Amino acid sequence: MLFFTEVFLSQLIGNLVIDKIGKKVGKITDVLIVLEPGFPRVSGIEVRRRLETVIISDRHIAMMNKQIVSLNILRSDLTQPNRADNEIFLRRDLLDRQIVDIDGAKVVRVNDLKITEANNEYRLVAVDIGIRGLVRRLGGERIFKKMAGWFSKDVPEKLISWDYVDLITPDLSAIKLSVAQGKLATLHPYDVAQIVSELNASDRSAIFQTWDAEKAAETLSEMETDLQASILEGISTDQAADILEMMATDDAADVLNEMEEEKAQELLNMMKYEEAIEVKELREYEEDEAGSLMTTEYIALPQHLTADETINELRRLAPEAETIYYIYVIDEDEHMAGVLSLRELIVAQPATKLADLMQQRVITVGDEASLEDVFNLIRKYDLLAVPVIDTDEKLVGIITVDDVIDAALPRRKRNSRY
């Protein structure tokens, strides 16, 4: 490979291939790359000649540009190379597929692929997601440039470096592209949810299958319940149950209520007993009752604990709690005894008991109260969370302000395809 080349896949497809003495070999139908760290190396080209299609190894390519491809071997000496497991075709496997734009946090489509010669090798360096890539494939790039010139408009290429692209699934069963998992993880869960929501059902399932239960639950919680249900129904029952266990109990109950009862019961039976019981209890509430909004993941401690003992308990219990801004104090029968804020706990003397720190007048709401009552309490008293009690005045859950906001505002519009 003696000449510097920068070429797009669309400019290669259909190009004439000649051997080292100028005899016609055929025309390019695809380009093969080997997936490896960095920029993937072009490992061969697929050529159609007469009634057969052959693969020509990259070691036989002398020159490759938008006009012609020449070989360093006679066509009579060509042999079919062995395919590696980590090789894929650019046209067949990547073109027109979806990728994630990490800067815009959105899903875009692969319109073309850019190849560059470097260090005597051809490498895939970028993905074209712009209108120019699409026009180039249609063969109208020259006219497009001329028209842009008439209006003194420059339409730049819109490229994403391959450094920011990775495969969602390693087995190519649903070969869609995503920003490398580590980079995707740096986005806010809401942005990740927006990205995943733009994929079709099979691709959403494919990407969720690559995540652990914690990451999947975190992302799923930012989606609408109908979309949550669609994703959980598209993955294995074991994995779906693991994700439900990691979700807040109120969110898990909501998504199960969105499913067919038979499927919901199947998933509940796969969950750990304690988590399943809590979710089942929440599912018994009507949609317009306070209990339907509450979570059972809160911190309630006995009033005889000291401030120092309480802080130690918080270290142990906090990872499982929805919020730790308030510590709820209960008596031996689990009745509400009082409440204190995290700030009040931190500044208290270590030996002071919760009974002496707590505020005994607690704003509560009944589990069968209307959602309007909950909204009014949160707004009136400017609460981050309100405790929920049953008819026996036992603490059964809390309703956080973010759940109130989600219930009060119109459902967020998301692009989704089933």
- pLDDT per residue as tens digits for the range 207-256: 788 788 988 999 898 898 999 999 999 999 999 999 999 998 889 999 99
CATH, domain range 188-284: 1.25.60.10
Q: Are 18 and 71 in contact (CB under 8 A)?
A: yes
Tell me which of 142 and 193 has the higher pLDDT: 193
Domain ranges of the chain: 6-89, 188-284, 300-406
Same fold, 6-89 and 188-284: no
Enter the pTM of the model: 0.63
Res 3 pLDDT > 80: no
Torsion of CA 145, 147, 153, 154, to 10 degrees: -10
For the chain, the average pLDDT equals 84
Res 177 pLDDT > 80: no
Residues 169-177 have a mean pLDDT of: 42
Q: Who contacts 286 (Cβ-Cβ below 8 Å, separation ≥6)?
A: 292
Cα separation of 128 and 130, whole Å? 6
The percentage of residues in the chain with a pLDDT greater than 90, rounded to a whole number, is: 48
Res 306 pLDDT > 70: yes
* Arch. (CATH architecture) of 300-406: Roll (3.10)
Name the CATH topology of 6-89: SH3 type barrels. (2.30.30)
Residues 362-373 have a mean pLDDT of: 93
Place 173 in a pLDDT band, splitting at 50, 70 and 90.
very low
Cα separation of 136 and 7, whole Å? 12
pLDDT tens digits, one per residue of 105-152: 677 788 999 999 888 889 999 888 887 888 887 766 565 555 555 545
Cα separation of 136 and 140, whole Å? 6
Place 340 in a pLDDT band, splitting at 50, 70 and 90.
very high
Q: Is 414 helix (H, G, I), strand (E, B) or coil?
A: coil
